Amino acid sequence: MSVMINEDIQPRFDVSGLITTVVQDSTTNAVLMVAWMNQEAFDLTIQTGKAHFWSRSRKELWLKGATSGNILSVESIWIDCDADTLLLKVKPAGPACHTGQTSCFYREIERKI
């Protein structure tokens, strides 16, 4: 069963039933990661206040931090103008990246001019 939210801001899931989800630290504003949600992950995130995602590679639902303890407590959920991307503002309990880095975005590509 889906969680009811304001009808004018229903997420638009793609043909695979997924929506891109950007995760941002609510204190530092750092972008921590990008993941995907299906309807069930979205509903669980709203119900529990903890970030749940859909793993495209494993084809299964997962609670971020279930094994590491680095849970993402959701403070707010934002939706973009096209309703096809979500932004979760979270309080992380530890590093967001599976490598142990604070953010998955820790490597810069340098342009050579």
Place of tokens 């889906």: 2
- How confident is the model at residue 113, as a pLDDT? 84
Confidence of residue 9 (pLDDT cuts 50, 70, 90): confident
In the numeric block, the tokens 């749940």 are attached to 52
Give 99's contacts (C-beta < 8 A, 6+ positions apart): 106
CA angle centred on 33, ends 91 and 111, rounded to 5°:
130
Residues 6+ apart with CB under 8 A from 51: 23, 35, 45, 63, 64, 65, 71, 72, 73, 74, 88, 90
| β-pair partners for 62 | 53
Question: Is the predicted pLDDT of residue 1 greater than 60, yes or no?
Answer: no
Angle at Cα 27 formed by Cα 21 and Cα 28, nearest 5°? 80
74-107, pLDDT tens digit by residue?
Answer: 999 999 999 999 999 999 999 999 999 999 999 9
Average pLDDT score over residue span 10-24: 97
Q: Is the CATH code 1.10.1740.10 the one for domain 16-92?
A: no
Domain boundaries of the chain, sorted by first residue: 16-92
Please, what's the largest Cα pairwise distance for the chain? 53
